[in-house]
Amino acid sequence: MKIQFKSNAFVIALSAVILGLIAGGIFMALIGSNPFEGFLYLFKGGLMNIERVGNTIATAITLMLVGLSVSFAFKTGLFNIGASGQMLVGGLCATLIAHHLFIPRPLYLIVLILAAIVGGAVWGVIPGLLKAKFNVHEVVATIMMNWIAYWSIFYFVPAFLKGPSLETESKSILFEQSLRVKWLNELFGGSEYVNLGIFVAIAAIIIIKFILDKTTLGFELKAVGANRFCAEYAGIKVNRNVIISMMIAGALAGLAGMTFYTGYSRNMQIGVMPSMGFDGIAVALLGASNPIGVFFSALFFGMLQSGKGFMNAMTDIPPEIADTIIATIIYFTATSVLFKRLWDWVAKKMSDIVAQKGGK
């Protein structure tokens, strides 16, 4: 009997995570802290009690939706680096609704969600159109859209949504108008950040999985991603799919903006490019662009992000270690060919050993 060992996407992603954590440990040790202690507090800070689990979930909600956005575009062979800008615009639309629309809550929530979807989708569909009609690379176009959103909000918020005290952030949304609800906060032991976005995120994951796996649209999108020339030859309208893909990706990022700005923070700060837009790339890469994978990797990164404050309070390690670990994981995912070679080499050795033993 011959046993074949082969590397797969999961093993490679796992190697990247482990190496990222090791790199984080090295950076902790370099500054004279104990890495084991650091990681203990980092994980404790994310999972120590039900309240902290709630905060971790609250952070993960946004990451889930951004990760879903990036991975949806990946499926069509597009790289949506513009999730930050789409988050800002979707979040702005939702914030405007939250400040100005007072109608019964169920109806209100539907309008809120639709506003965020429209805002994000508009910001996503522009690069999609430019790609389809003029062959402008979506990476450059989405970066430009990010900064257009950043500066527009930089001047829009102080002009129209100025808070009472600070110039740099909008006024807070009323609790009743935000995504937060009492029973959910009480369920998670008083965690004040956890919000209704969790249901939006889970619904989005189920819907996107359904679209990708069970519909003609999903099949066409994946076909374009796999080989656009082949898809074109098979009669699939490539440009139409590129536009739809960017539109849906933008809508998902817009929803992420809604969960962050009307659920997690309840106001908008200006002069801040939301880093979740880039963390979402890590979520998508680690989740192998699979909606279920995105769910779990968002929880993992959410834990790192929400535990860093506690770790910083208990040790001398600066909270930026979490972002360092995430960035390192992305770098190692980009260079995953290294692990693929390594694991294939290990697998070959193992197969040889097994074959020798079997031959004896």
Partner 1 sequence: MAYKHSTPATAISIDNTSTKRRLPTWLFIVILVVALVLLYFISNNHLVRMIAPYAISYTIPMLMTALGGLYSERSGVTNLGLEGLMLVGYFASALTIKMTEQTGALAVLPLGLLMGFLAGAVFSILHAFASINLKADQVISGTAINMLASALTVYLARIIAGSGNVRIVKIIVRKDIPGLSNIPVLGPLFFTQSYWSTWIAIAIWGISWFLLYKTSFGLRLRACGEHPSAVASAGINVYGMRYFGVMMSGALAGLGGGIILVTYSGEFNGSVAGLGFLSIAALIFGQWKPLGILGSTFFFGIATTIANVSMVIPQFGVIPPVIFKVFPYVVTLLALVAFSKNSAAPKAAGEPF
> Which spans of this chain sit near partner 1 (rule: CB under 8 A)?
27, 31, 79, 81, 130, 134-137, 139-141, 143-148, 150-152, 154-156, 271, 273, 275, 278, 281, 285, 318, 320-321, 323-324, 326-328, 330-331, 333-338
Is the CB of 227 or the CB of 335 nearer to partner 1? 335
Query: Which residue's structure tokens are 């950040």?
Result: 193
Cβ 116 to partner 1, closest distance in Å? Answer: 22
User: CB neighbours of 207 closer than 8 A, spacing ≥ 6?
Assistant: none
Cβ 139 to partner 1, closest distance in Å? Answer: 5
Cβ 282 to partner 1, closest distance in Å? Answer: 8
Is the CB of 31 or the CB of 187 nearer to partner 1? 31
Is the CB of 217 or the CB of 327 nearer to partner 1? 327
Q: Which residues of 161-174 are buried (b: 16+ CB within 10 A; e: fewer)?
A: bebeeeeebbbebe
Cβ 273 to partner 1, closest distance in Å? Answer: 7
Q: How far apart are CA 333 and CA 23, in angstroms?
A: 14
Q: Are 17 and 26 in contact (CB under 8 A)?
A: no
Q: Are 255 and 113 in contact (CB under 8 A)?
A: yes
Cβ 334 to partner 1, closest distance in Å? Answer: 4
Is the CB of 163 or the CB of 318 nearer to partner 1? 318
User: CB neighbours of 18 closer than 8 A, spacing ≥ 6?
Assistant: none
Closest CA to 154 of 81, 85, 82: 85
Is the CB of 114 or the CB of 338 nearer to partner 1? 338
Q: In this structure, how many other beta carbons lie within 10 angstroms of the beta carbon of residue 349?
A: 11
